[in-house]
Chains A and B, each alone.
Chain A
Amino acid sequence: MAPMAVRSRPSRGPGRVRNYGPAYAGPAGIWLTVFFLAPLLVIVAYSFLEKGLYGGVEPRFSLEAYRSLFNSVFFRVSLNTLGISLATTVLAILIALPCGYYMARSNRKTFLLMLVIIPFWTNFLIRIYAWIAILGNNGFLNALLIRAGVVASPVQFLYNQVAVTVVLVYTYLPYAILPLYSTIEKFDFSLLEAARDLGCTRRGAIFRVLLPNIRAGIITAVLFVFIPTFGAYAVPLLVGGKESYMLGNFVAEELTRTRNWPLASAISMVITLVTTLGLWLMFRLQGKAPQAKDPARSGGERRAP
């Protein structure tokens, strides 16, 4: 990568070269300002306004939307959302770590990578539908269990928190496997041997050498899974029930059915705040790993010819 001083030359250089930066980046900047940032600011503003009679808002300042968040229903849905998204994140990481490790040490990396990516090619809704076809009352699993004589009548697998978590893990697992794979792949495995030679147990080597060194990958994977699952909407809508209602469903309900737009905006603010908080927390964790980063860097340099 060229150093900054070299890059800035067009703006300082001879008069015939103009700075075309704004001309190039302007259209993208304007588009995203109008169709991404402005809408976000609109919902921030709406969350502080009074609710209109038939949807919409009245232009009067009000904290009513935030005040109405203080009730047991909202707390229950929030806790539920947090519980499901944390469980999904932890499960996805626990599954993805050994998978990424196996892929990184395999000699058929491209093939294994394709295996992980192929399910990605199937439409998101169709993947959810497939789980309904498997877990539903008239689904594949019940048909199998009834034929095998394990149960007499269909078991209700769907419409609960477990079903929502399973489908969310299914949907976001590749998002955890891919960043973990790419960081483990760059890891210098001779460090593990060194740890073993110095008397570390195999488990010790994994926990004290491998995991600290792939911290950046773990953090990326956590964010890639946690952020979309905390704002999940389609999965709890289709495979969840009343008890697995999540904040995303709450927003949609307030927006389209109850038509309380300030409340929908306020809940959206809560979702944004929590995901931003997660992001901040993870970046702080990443910053706090000096002793873990150094061996990786020196390992990488030593390997380079």
Chain B
Amino acid sequence: MAKAASERLRARRLLLDALKMPETLTALSLADWELLLRVARRARVLGRLESALDNAGLLGDIPPRAAAHLRAARNVIAHRKTLISWEVNRLFWALKEIDAPLILLKGTAYLLADLPPAQGRIFADVDLLVPEERIVEIEEKLVARGWFKTEIDPYDDRYYRVWMHEIPPLRHRERGTEIDIHHRLLPKTSHLASDPAPLFAAARPLADRQLRVLAPADMILHALVHLFLEGDPDEGLRLRDLLDVHDLLCHHGQEPGFWASLVPRARVLGFQRPLFYGLHHAQGLLGTPVPPDVLHDLEGEAPAWPIRKLMNRLIPLALLPGHPDHPSRQATLARWLIYVRAHWLRMPPGLLIRHLSHKAWLRFRGRRKRVDLAQLDLKQQ
């Protein structure tokens, strides 16, 4: 057991040191590289390590076998970036006759606005925020131009439309990228307020004026809301989302007036609690520079003492990937508790139980474990 505990500590230290001080990677032993690659793959930050080493001109100074893994991650990321940028290009083409603001969210926004988190980050879907009253029109236009509504089971469709903050994803018939269209940042059912009007008012236009991104403080708050309220029971909290927040804070933190506006803005949007946890743990795990008076200002937003102590323990456990050979029961429990908490904040209790039991049933049938083997074209025995 002592070995397992020390191995877990080693995995955690390797990952956090690599993220905070990538320049020290050139001194890593092969054994440490081996574990770091496994842990970083699980946290999906291989691409981030690659880009940090590339920027420092150090890719030639690491073991070639490690460099090959990082190269593979870089290639996948480059491909996903192309797909996301192109999907936005085609969306813009399809929707140019519609005079509605299209706010790009999350990875799509970082990429198109050329913000630091876009470097070395994996991109999945295109996320858009549009005014709720324009959704039908936008959906119809996209369907007329070759997109289709992805097939989801009737439970999920109803769940999306009735309770959620987005509609079921759309996909172009020839391309694989999904488009998630949101009309608010959180479900209508959420315990946290989430009136989207102030977001639209503050959004900033990109070169194509119809395309916009959230204002800096809003973007960071959204990243935090996403981090703490969209967990996954297996993966826990996504460390890469906290890294997005870290990058954005380092970037926008340089702008005059940014820090003074952050906490008041969180109060306007009702996101004080996620900001409290986010700043605290970004600073604790990643060394994000946060001015002391901002933390002081947020003290009043902290939960009651026992909850605060518990969350301080659970959040890092749920954020870090753990050791591949020495899984920890504590971490598994932490991930699950954080997931239930996220759902609790998103839905009223009756609905939560219905939703969780439906998901558990799907899981029992093995749906969540399904791997698309046809695409791999390998012959399964």
A binds B: no
